[in-house]
Amino acid sequence: MDLETRIAQYMKLTADDPTNEMAFFSLGNAYLQGERHLEAAQAFAKCAEINNAMTKAYQLAGRAYIDAGKKDDAEGVLLKGYTEAAARGDRMPKDAIALMLKEIDIEVPEIAEKEPPKAKPAGDFKCSKSGLMGTKLARPPFRNGMGQWIQDSISKETFNEWISLGTKVINELRLDLSNDMHDAVYDYAMRVFLGLDDATYSSVMDGQTPPMPDGQFKGVVDEMMSHAGHLESFQGKMHERVE
């Protein structure tokens, strides 16, 4: 399916159901792939307006507004997004939004981040992804620098969450991990979930550039990761967007 056809499809979905936040999120991603930044920003902003919990949408809206040269619009959506992300404990969108606010010379608000859920510590190892105490992996899951980073940074409990979510991603997108592109899709989704950014990846992998899926797959994965482990709403249809 070509890009313009997908944009038209998502536009119809938003027209048919103006309360469908995922349709607006998908439309925003499609506009981004076409480098239609202002339209992307407006779609992401509408998604966040419908569902304030979609803090990733605030982040993407702000980025798109900046790229479209709309600083005032970016300021408004980023300040709102920062407040929502901090209140919900969404660390990655919060940190990304803070960087964009600094980029456009806007002071980052001082807002106390929501404390992680109080739970009985499962071990004496603090996970960089969850911020919770857990159990350290007995060994690196991969025989490379990324595997060592995961053992050093990610608890066994969190990595097990990824294994479960990764299986859902494989099933939802019908990935064949013997295919290099499909393997890059899985690898990218894992890095996003675990919080392994590109700079850190290059550092722990001796300067290698992280494998990236093509733009269409990347947009779909970003959309799925914005829902964390709750992929049921996609109803097994995400593969249709990349076939």
pLDDT digit string (tens) for the chain, length 243 residues: 578 888 998 899 899 989 888 789 889 988 988 999 999 999 999 999 998 888 888 999 999 999 999 999 999 999 999 999 888 777 778 899 999 999 999 999 987 665 555 555 568 899 999 888 999 999 999 989 999 999 999 999 999 989 888 878 887 788 888 788 899 999 999 999 999 999 999 999 999 999 998 877 888 888 777 765 555 555 555 556 665
Write down the pTM of the prediction: 0.55
User: Measured on CA atoms in the order 162, 241, 199, 32, is the torsion positive or negative?
Assistant: negative
Residue ranges and CATH numbers for the domains of the chain are 3-103 (1.25.40.10), 125-241 (no CATH)
